[in-house]
């Protein structure tokens, strides 16, 4: 009996094993299918590899995921023949159907089923700065004035050399001649080099310190290394808003800041985030309008706050200076005082920007910390504390600032308190900080064209009289009649004076403005009228005329002319019964690549375009005329935009027909100061259009090949015309078409003509 049971058990086990083996060997083999794929009705692939299993599962090749863009988190993965497939029929918020008739896989998904996308609205790509050529320029500002009793002359000279040692050398000095006394003073000498990779600038020589929220700026000579975001326009240091949403279909997103359209972009279906939304400094509201192809809209609104005092999260900025303080700047050439070191470091956290600053001399030290915090997207709070140890003793500073700025309302409040012995750079025994300084000012719009302002100042000084005053103003926008401003101020200290005034500004014409002003003081009243016109940026005339009356009798007139070589201004005035005359000339001399040209005052990068033509050619930068070639073919191109692409091209309207000129666009990305020599090649074009006819006076057929000795063959166009470049007439030409061949003698025109058309000439065998 036991053996029978054992036999039955073994038979049953063998039966089960054979059944499993049969099931494994008979399982269907999954074969990929090549089909079209659509997502929400849009075809994303026409030849895609798809798998369908017998139990209804649908897989797509992993290569298709970037165009399908579905979120595949925790999706089932299948590996077949070395290829990876992902299951999509069970994804959330997704419906998948297979259309056998059209061999199409149709995917319908809601916005939340897609992968998220990000885009930067306000950012821009980094542009590599091109090293300038070796060159330089000399700016000058010359002034002369005279009256019946005196003659004065002054000159400011600004010399710059660039392209050496990767930076720029600058030297400035001022000369004065007054009442027979001559004086020459050096203003500053320095070497400046930018390091775009480090977003920093190195200065060796004379400069000014980088101040913190509570410290002073001082002139010094020495070394400075500081963060400089201006040399990297692609880096946005301040925190800008990030807007997010979900698009159910490909959509257009419009960004409005305080109801003004600031940016527009396209997004795909799914979650999206738009960073670096361009906003104004201050507080306001950002609206994002998402509209799909069917016209469906969703509006997302978000408040924002932006301040140059804040750094975005993870961004840092710093400065280090060491050297000798300058004394009597502009009055003495090289008078330096105590040595010092100072440093500032700022770092942006998520909700706060922290700052620390320290400075020290041999006998004095000062250190402090501060923070800038946006509160409730409404106000910016800045708080600072500092302490010093100096020859005067120990001291402290506490400062609090609040500010809010929006289109219809703005307010700022600053309160600073120092103890008697507090010290920092810029203060000395004869110049002590105020013990208490309070300033509050605000403005508000009372309507679309009326604004009201109010300010209050209270300075409790130690070495000077205290100052306390309040002022208020009202401004009316009168459209084409200009603006009218009314103001009243009251001193609240020992001398409690009251003053009032009115200013009417009327724009008229181009670059022109007229002003009328009256001031009521405690002891006198004055009024004046003035008209002013500034020369156009392209060049031209300007003028000014002013007269005062009511307790004052003075007049002032002047005329100015701006050209590409500089600006000249002549003027005369009558003050206190004395007549005075003035003359001023400003300009520069640029030197680059052995070329020297007079130009306007240079305060940035420039270029010279060299065009080998005698004709005047207009030169464009970013589709704006910025220069013209002279008789030597040189065009001075001032005011290039630093750290941006300047696209330089020539206007071909004035180019002769017999000249082939290189018209390719040149891109220049300059540093803050530098020069570039841009050469455009040209060559003389010679040749003629020859008309050939056969012996029956019929045009040689189009497509016939015409050749001449020493010339490349050319094809005949319509009406027997063929252009032969570089041919010198008279010349013998041969035409060939099919099995036919003929020769003609092409004669020169009766008078010299540029690229003439000659003929017809009979082409015979």
CA angle in degrees (0–180, nearest 5) for 682-687-692: 155
Percentage of the chain with pLDDT > 70?
96
pLDDT beyond 70 at 546? yes
Joined together, the tokens standing for residue 271 give 């979650």
Query: Which pLDDT value is given to residue 4?
Result: 37
**Top-confidence residue, 558 or 305:** 558
pLDDT-derived band at 2 (thresholds 50, 70, 90) equals very low
Give the tens place of pLDDT for each residue, 47-77. 888 888 888 889 989 888 888 888 888 888 8
pLDDT beyond 50 at 642? yes
State the DSSP H helix or E strand holding residue 2, giving kind and residue range, or none if neither: helix 2-25
Burial of 289 (0-12, 13-18, 19+ CB in 10 A): middle
Q: For residues 650-658, give the mean pLDDT.
A: 77
Give the tens place of pLDDT for each residue, 128-153. 888 899 999 999 999 999 987 888 99
d(CA 383, CA 164) in angstroms, rounded, equals 44
Q: For residues 102-124, give the mean pLDDT.
A: 84
Q: Is 66 helix (H, G, I), strand (E, B) or coil?
A: helix
Contact 388, 398 (CB under 8 A): no
**DSSP category for residue 535:** P
Q: How far, CA to CA in Å, does 315 sit from each of 213, 310, 344, 641?
A: 18, 10, 14, 25
Query: Which pLDDT value is given to residue 30?
Result: 66
Burial of 350 (0-12, 13-18, 19+ CB in 10 A): exposed
Give the tens place of pLDDT for each residue, 266-275. 888 888 888 8
CA angle in degrees (0–180, nearest 5) for 92-93-95: 100
pLDDT-derived band at 493 (thresholds 50, 70, 90) equals confident
Mean of pLDDT over the chain: 87
Strands 117-120 and 270-275: parallel
Contact 192, 168 (CB under 8 A): yes
Residue by residue, what is the 3-state secondary structure of 131-193?
Answer: CCCCEEEEEEEEEEEEECCCEEEEEEEEEEEEEECCEEEEEEEEEEEECCEEEEEEEEEEEEE
Q: For residues 516-543, give the mean pLDDT.
A: 90
First to last CA, the chain: 122
**Top-confidence residue, 715 or 42:** 715
Neighbours of 528 (CB within 10 A): 18
Q: Is 22 helix (H, G, I), strand (E, B) or coil?
A: helix
Listed range (14-23, 114-123, 360-369, 630-639) with the worst mean pLDDT: 14-23
To the nearest 10°, report the CA torsion of 127, 131, 132, 135.
160
Query: Which pLDDT value is given to residue 69?
Result: 87
**Top-confidence residue, 412 or 302:** 412
pLDDT beyond 50 at 89? yes
List 708's β-bridge partners, or say none.
733
Query: Which pLDDT value is given to residue 1?
Result: 39
Residues with Cβ within 8 Å of 146's Cβ and at least 6 positions away in sequence, in order, are 152, 580, 581
Q: What is the DSSP string of 95-133?
A: EEEEETTTTEEEEEE-GGGBPPEEEESS-----PPPPPP
Encode burial over 128-166: b for 16+ CB neighbours within 10 A, e otherwise: ebeebeebbbbbbbbbebeeeeeeeebbbbbbbbbbeee
To the nearest 10°, report the CA torsion of 131, 132, 133, 134.
-100
Joined together, the tokens standing for residue 625 give 């005329």
Which of 366, 319, 364, 318 has the alpha carbon at shortest distance from 337? 364
Strands 682-684 and 659-661: antiparallel
Strands 104-109 and 94-99: antiparallel
pLDDT-derived band at 297 (thresholds 50, 70, 90) equals confident
Give the tens place of pLDDT for each residue, 245-281. 888 878 888 888 877 888 888 888 888 888 888 777 7
Q: What is the DSSP string of 259-326?
A: TEEEEEEEE-SEEEEEES----SEEEEEEEEEEETT--EEEEEEEEEE-TT---TT-EEEEEEEEEEE
Joined together, the tokens standing for residue 474 give 């009202």
Give the tens place of pLDDT for each residue, 339-376. 999 999 999 999 899 999 999 999 999 999 999 999 88
pLDDT-derived band at 764 (thresholds 50, 70, 90) equals confident
pLDDT beyond 60 at 699? yes
Give the tens place of pLDDT for each residue, 440-479. 999 999 988 999 999 999 998 887 888 889 999 999 999 8
User: What is the phi/psi pair of residue 719, to 5°?
Assistant: 60, 25
Most confident segment among 536-540, 566-570, 639-643, 688-692: 566-570
**Top-confidence residue, 79 or 330:** 79
Query: Which pLDDT value is given to residue 276?
Result: 82
pLDDT beyond 70 at 9? no
Q: How far, CA to CA in Å, does 671 sit from each of 195, 204, 237, 600?
A: 10, 18, 20, 19
- Tell whether the torsion through CA atoms of 227, 231, 235 and 236 is positive or negative: positive
What is the set of domains in the chain, with CATH numbers? 33-113 (3.10.20.410), 243-306 (2.60.40.3110), 600-684 (2.60.40.2610), 687-762 (2.60.40.2070)
Contact 312, 348 (CB under 8 A): yes
pLDDT beyond 50 at 536? yes
Query: Which pLDDT value is given to residue 99?
Result: 86
Q: For residues 5-9, give the mean pLDDT.
A: 40
Contact 763, 735 (CB under 8 A): yes
List 488's β-bridge partners, or say none.
472, 500
pLDDT beyond 90 at 190? yes
Tell how many helices (H) and how many strands (E) occur in the chain.
2, 55
What is the residue whose two structure tokens read 């009372």?
A: 446
Contact 240, 312 (CB under 8 A): yes
d(CA 344, CA 368) in angstroms, rounded, equals 10
Strands 687-693 and 666-668: unpaired
Query: Which pLDDT value is given to residue 16?
Result: 37
Which of 304, 180, 294, 302 has the alpha carbon at shortest distance from 247? 294
Percentage of the chain with pLDDT > 90?
43
Give the tens place of pLDDT for each residue, 10-42. 343 334 333 343 333 333 446 788 889 998 888
d(CA 82, CA 189) in angstroms, rounded, equals 69
Neighbours of 185 (CB within 10 A): 17
State the DSSP H helix or E strand holding residue 68, giving kind and residue range, or none if neither: helix 65-68
């Amino acid at each position: 009996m036991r053996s029978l049971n054992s036999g039955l058990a073994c038979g049953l086990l063998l039966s089960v094993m054979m059944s499993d083996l049969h099931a494994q060997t008979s399982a269907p083999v999954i074969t990929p299918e090549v089909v079209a794929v659509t997502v929400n009705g849009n075809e994303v692939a026409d030849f895609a590899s798809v798998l369908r299993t017998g139990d209804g599962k649908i897989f797509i090749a992993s290569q298709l995921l970037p165009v399908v863009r579905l979120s595949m988190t925790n999706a089932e993965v299948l590996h077949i023949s070395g290829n990876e497939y992902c299951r999509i029929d069970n994804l959330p918020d997704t419906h998948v159907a297979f259309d056998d008739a059209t061999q199409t896989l149709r995917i319908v998904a809601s916005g939340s089923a897609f992968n998220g996308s990000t885009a930067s609205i306000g950012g821009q790509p980094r542009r590599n700065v091109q090293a300038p050529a070796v060159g330089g320029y000399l700016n000058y500002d010359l002034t002369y004035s005279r009256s019946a009793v005196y003659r004065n002359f002054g000159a400011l000279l600004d010399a710059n050399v660039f392209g050496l040692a990767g930076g720029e050398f600058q030297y400035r000095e001022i000369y004065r001649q007054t009442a027979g006394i001559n004086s020459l003073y050096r203003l500053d000498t320095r070497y400046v080099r930018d390091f775009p990779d480090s977003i920093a600038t190195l200065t060796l020589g004379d400069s000014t310190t980088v101040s913190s929220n509570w410290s002073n700026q001082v002139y010094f000579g020495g070394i400075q290394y500081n963060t400089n975001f201006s040399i990297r326009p692609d880096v946005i240091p301040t925190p800008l808003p990030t807007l997010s949403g979900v698009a159910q279909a490909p959509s257009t997103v419009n960004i409005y800041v305080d109801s003004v359209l600031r940016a527009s972009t396209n997004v795909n279906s799914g979650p999206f985030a738009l960073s670096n939304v361009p906003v104004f400094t201050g507080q306001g509201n950002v609206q994002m309008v998402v509209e799909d192809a069917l016209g469906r809209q969703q509006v997302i609104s978000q408040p924002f706050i932006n301040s140059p005092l804040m750094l975005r999260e993870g961004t840092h900025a710093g400065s280090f200076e060491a050297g000798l303080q300058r004394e009597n700047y502009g009055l003495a050439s090289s008078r330096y005082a105590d040595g010092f070191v100072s440093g500032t470091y700022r770092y942006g956290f998520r909700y706060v920007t922290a700052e620390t600053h320290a400075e020290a001399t041999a006998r004095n030290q000062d250190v402090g910390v501060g923070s800038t915090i946006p509160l409730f997207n409404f106000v910016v709070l800045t708080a600072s504390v500092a302490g010093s140890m100096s020859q005067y003793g120990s001291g402290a500073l506490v400062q609090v600032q609040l500010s809010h700025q929006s289109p219809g309302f703005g307010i700022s409040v600053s309160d600073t308190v120092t103890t008697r012995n507090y010290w920092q750079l810029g203060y000395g025994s004869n110049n002590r900080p105020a013990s208490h300084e309070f300033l509050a000012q605000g403005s508000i719009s009372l309507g679309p064209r009326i604004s009201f302002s109010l300010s209050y100042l209270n300075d409790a000084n130690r070495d000077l009289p205290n100052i306390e005053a309040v002022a208020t103003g009202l401004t009316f926008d009168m459209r084409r009649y200009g603006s009218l401003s009314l103001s009243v101020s009251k001193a609240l200290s020992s001398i409690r004076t009251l003053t009032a005034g009115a200013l009417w500004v009327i724009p008229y014409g181009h670059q022109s403005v007229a002003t009328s002003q009256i001031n009521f003081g405690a002891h006198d009243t004055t009024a004046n009228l003035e008209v002013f016109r500034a020369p156009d940026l392209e060049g031209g005339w300007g003028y000014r005329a002013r007269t005062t009356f009511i307790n004052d009798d003075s007049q002032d007139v002047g005329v100015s002319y701006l050209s590409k070589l500089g600006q000249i201004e002549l003027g005369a005035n009558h003050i206190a019964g004395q007549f005075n005359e003035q003359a001023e000339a400003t300009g520069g001399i640029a030197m680059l690549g052995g070329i020297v040209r007079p130009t306007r005052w240079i305060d940035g990068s420039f270029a010279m375009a060299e065009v080998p033509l005698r004709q005047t050619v207009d030169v464009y930068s970013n589709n704006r005329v910025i220069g013209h070639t002279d008789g030597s073919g040189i065009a001075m191109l001032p005011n290039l935009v630093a750290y941006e692409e300047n696209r330089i091209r020539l206007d071909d309207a004035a180019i002769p027909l017999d000249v082939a000129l290189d018209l390719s666009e040149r891109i220049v990305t300059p540093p803050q100061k530098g020069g570039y020599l841009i050469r455009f090649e040209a060559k003389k074009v010679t040749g003629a259009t020859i008309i050939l006819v056969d012996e029956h006076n019929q045009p040689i057929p189009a497509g016939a090949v015409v050749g001449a000795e020493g010339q490349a063959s050319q094809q005949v166009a319509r009406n027997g015309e063929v252009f032969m470049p570089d041919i010198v007439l008279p010349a013998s030409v041969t035409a060939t078409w099919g099995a036919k061949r003929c020769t003609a003698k092409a004669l020169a025109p009766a008078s010299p003509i540029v690229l003439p058309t000659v003929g017809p000439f009979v082409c015979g065998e």
